[in-house]
Amino acid sequence: DTGVSQDPRHKITKRGQNVTFRCDPISEHNRLYWYRQTLGQGPEFLTYFQNEAQLEKSRLLSDRFSAERPKGSFSTLEIQRTEQGDSAMYLCASSVGRGQGAPETQYFGPGTRLLVL
């Protein structure tokens, strides 16, 4: 069990550029979550997948954001036409979802810190 990994750990980009982040969950975890954390705040939910299906998206996730989990394993989060307000830590978490009515524990990766200049 190697834990959740994220790549890159840091990304500096210029406003208007596109960026893509990758998350590799704990193997056999069927659920994968993305959160965003701005400085001095707690993480906020963005979206989550069960296997390859994207089941929920937050209204924080504007049209410039897209997430995929094509084979139900790793996931990517892309931000198009970045803005300075996108500067944040992007956190990925994974869990074993056991169906409705069963709570679960999310395990977080180290995050990708994005700075938009």
Footprint of other proteins on this chain (CB under 8 A)?
4, 6, 31, 33, 35, 40-45, 48, 55-56, 91, 93, 95, 97, 100-111, 113
Nearer to other proteins, 82 or 94 (CB): 94
Nearer to other proteins, 27 or 100 (CB): 100
Residue 82 Cβ vs other proteins, minimum distance, rounded to whole Å: 21
Percent helix, percent strand, percent coil in the chain, to nearest 5:
5, 50, 50
Measured over the CA atoms of residue 31, residue 75, residue 111 and residue 41, the dihedral's sign is negative
CB 92 within 8 A of CB 34: yes
